[in-house]
Structures are given as C-alpha cells and as structure tokens.
Amino acid sequence: METGDTQPGEAALAAHFDATIALMRQIEPRDWMPDGYRKTMIRQIAQHAHSEIIGMQPEGNWITRAPSLRRKAILLAKVQDEAGHGMYLYAAAETLGADRADLTALLIGGRQKYSSIFNYPTLSYADVGVIGWLVDGAAICNQVPLCRSSYGPYARAMVRICKEESFHQRQGYELLLTMMRGTAAQQAMVQESVDRFWWPSLMMFGPPDDQSPNTGQSMAWGIKRHTNDELRQRFVDMTVPQADKLGVTLPDERLRWNPERGHYDFGEVDWAEFKAVIGGNGPCNAERIARRRAAHEDGSWVREAAVAYAAKHGEAS
C-alpha cells in the first residue's frame, strides 16, 4: 500500500493509518494520512459534490412544466435534496483542507469533473421519471458501499444522502409506472427516454476496471469497497427485472441471463462516447458549465454581503 516517503517520526503514524485501513475502520480529519489519500479523497468528494449541483439543471428544466401540482412538489423536493447533497459533500471536502470557492473555480474552469450523466439533455417529461429510476438507481448502487468508505466524514454524509436517493429512485419509478398505465403516447415517451438514458447510466460507474487509473489504489485505501465493473454489473442485475415489471425494453440486444455466471450478460458500453463526454464534448457540457458560471456570478453579492457582515460583527468568516 502506498504511504509515501514518510520521515522516521511519521513511520508510526503511517503504520497506524495502514492498520486502521486494514481493520476497515475510518480515518478522521485530524488523523495522519498519506498526501495521496488526501488528494484522492478531495478529488472524489469534490467531483461528487459538483455532480449533485450540476445534476439540478437537467431535472430543474421540468419544474415549471410538471403536469400537476403533486408532480411539481415532488420534483421541487428532489432538486432541493440534490443541492443539500452538494452542500454536505463540499463540507466533507473542507474537512480535508479544501476550499469550497477553489473547488467551484476548478469546476467552472473545467479542471474538475462532474458525472457524465448530466451532460445529456432532458427532452421529455418521461426523462424526470427515468432519471429517478435509472440515474438515482445507479447512484444508489454506487453510493451505498460508500457509506463504508474509509474516510469518516464522507461515509457519514453518504448515509443521509442514500436515504434521500432511495426516495428519488422510488418517485421516478412510480412516475413511470403511472405513465406506462396511460396512453400509447405516454408509453412511447417512456420507452424513448429509456433508450436515451440506459447506456449513459452504465457510464456513471466509470471506465472498465482495466482502464481505471484510480480504482486499484482506491480499493487498497478502502475508499472504494467495490470496483467500477462490479457495481455496474450489480446495477444491471437489479434493473432488468424492474424494466420487465415496468413493461419497457432495455436497448441492448446482448442482454440476457447467464445461469453459469448468475448475472446478466450485457453489451459493450461505447467508451469512445464516454471519453468524449468526460472530455467536455458531450451534448450539454458547455450549457451546464455556462449555467453554473452564471449562477456563481449572479450570487456573488450574497457572498460579499455575508463576508462584510461577518467582518463587521467579528464572526469567523
């Protein structure tokens, strides 16, 4: 396990870090940790936080056009939850010495990522249900193991986030069940949305393990408890029966149960598309960052007022 070039005095601290990880216990903010561990945690937590905040845009697009007050209230609650998830996660990153303003600048400057899934457009109201079912469903698959991640503040933030993601996934699936019991046009709208979001949802789990530069070390440090491919497979196995119950087909001709493996076999993800999207060339990357930049600039007066108030009243900024 990499613990960096430690000085003799640090050797005991590094040994304690390694023992804590080996015992699957948690590292806390004041504990000694290798620089690489701190850097990886800041990177992953920041990008997770960015994903939550950017993820408000595609669904927010439908708040004013929800078909009923009930659907509008549910969608408003969900989008507000995502903002809260971002706040918990930026707060977790700050326990590692990161500065929230710096992280926002890295996001807006295109030097930190957010989840590829949010670079796809929401073209119909069915997308609100499909995002809840597939995107939040994938997020739950990925995030439940993170409740046992080795960094304490991150793992604890995940517990609250996963509870709320479960509501997000259920409301999406219920919305789709309602539409699938509706008109042929509503059923066609759901199927068209599933066709657009299925493969990008599988990309949320990251590149294949043999193309992931971070997974090996993140597994060794207990940051990840499962690899990208393991969680992708878990998501497929969980989702296929749900699709059957819903009455939609998943757009993958190679999808079939493999009794030898005890899992569903599925087709190859388009990794060229994935690389293009995380490289900034997805359908909505420019729009998402422009909106985030505009919101940051429009909100500068609030930050300035808060800093001025704190300076005047002598509170810690």
The pair of three-digit structure tokens given for residue 279, joined into one six-digit string: 């490289």
The pair of three-digit structure tokens given for residue 3, joined into one six-digit string: 């613990």
Question: Least separation, in Å, of the C-beta of 133 and ligand 3HC?
Answer: 11
Distance CA 178, CA 174 (A): 6
Question: Least separation, in Å, of the C-beta of 125 and ligand 3HC?
Answer: 18
Q: Which is nearer to ligand 3HC, 38 or 43 (CB)?
A: 43
Contacts of 220 (CB under 8 A, 6+ apart): 1, 2, 21
Q: Which is nearer to ligand 3HC, 187 or 278 (CB)?
A: 278
Among 14, 26, 37, 52, binds ligand 3HC (CB under 6 A): 52
DSSP 8-class letter at 223: S
Distance CA 36, CA 41 (A): 8
Q: Which is nearer to ligand 3HC, 35 or 304 (CB)?
A: 35
Question: Least separation, in Å, of the C-beta of 227 and ligand 3HC?
Answer: 9
Distance CA 58, CA 284 (A): 9
Q: How many CB atoms lie within 10 A of CB 148?
A: 13
Rg of the chain over CA atoms, in angstroms? 21
Within positions 83 to 142, which residues make up the interface with ligand 3HC, using CB under 6 A? 113, 115-116, 135-136, 139, 142
The pair of three-digit structure tokens given for residue 306, joined into one six-digit string: 């808060």
Within positions 143 to 202, which residues make up the interface with ligand 3HC, using CB under 6 A? none
Contacts of 48 (CB under 8 A, 6+ apart): 89
Per CB under 6 A, the segment of 23-31, 63-71, 171-179, 203-211 that binds ligand 3HC is 203-211
- Contact at 8 Å (CB) between 244 and 177? no
Q: Is residue 34 at the binding interface for ligand 3HC, with CB under 6 A as the rule?
A: no
Q: Which is nearer to ligand 3HC, 114 or 266 (CB)?
A: 114
The C-alpha torsion from 181 through 184 and 189 to 192, rounded to 10°, is 110
Lookup result for tokens 């193991």: 145
Pattern 257-296, ligand 3HC, x by CB under 6 A: ---------------------x------------------
Q: Is residue 206 at the binding interface for ligand 3HC, with CB under 6 A as the rule?
A: yes
Q: Is residue 214 at the binding interface for ligand 3HC, with CB under 6 A as the rule?
A: yes
| Of 113, 259, 120, residue with least CA distance to 202 | 120
213: phi then psi, degrees, rounded to nearest 5? -70, -15
| Of 35, 36, 32, residue with least CA distance to 19 | 32
Among 8, 9, 97, 213, binds ligand 3HC (CB under 6 A): 213
Per CB under 6 A, the segment of 51-59, 61-69, 94-102, 242-250 that binds ligand 3HC is 51-59
Question: Least separation, in Å, of the C-beta of 50 and ligand 3HC?
Answer: 8
Per CB under 6 A, the segment of 45-53, 181-189, 253-261, 302-310 that binds ligand 3HC is 45-53
Residues present in the chain in total: 317
Q: Is residue 26 at the binding interface for ligand 3HC, with CB under 6 A as the rule?
A: no
Among 48, 71, 196, 232, binds ligand 3HC (CB under 6 A): 48
**What is the per-residue DSSP string for 155-190?**
HHHHHHHHHHHHHHHHHHHHHHHHHHTS-HHHHHHH
Among 6, 95, 166, 212, binds ligand 3HC (CB under 6 A): 212
Q: Which residues make up the interface to ligand 3HC (CB under 6 A)?
A: 43-44, 47-48, 51-52, 55, 82, 113, 115-116, 135-136, 139, 142, 203-207, 212-215, 218, 228, 278
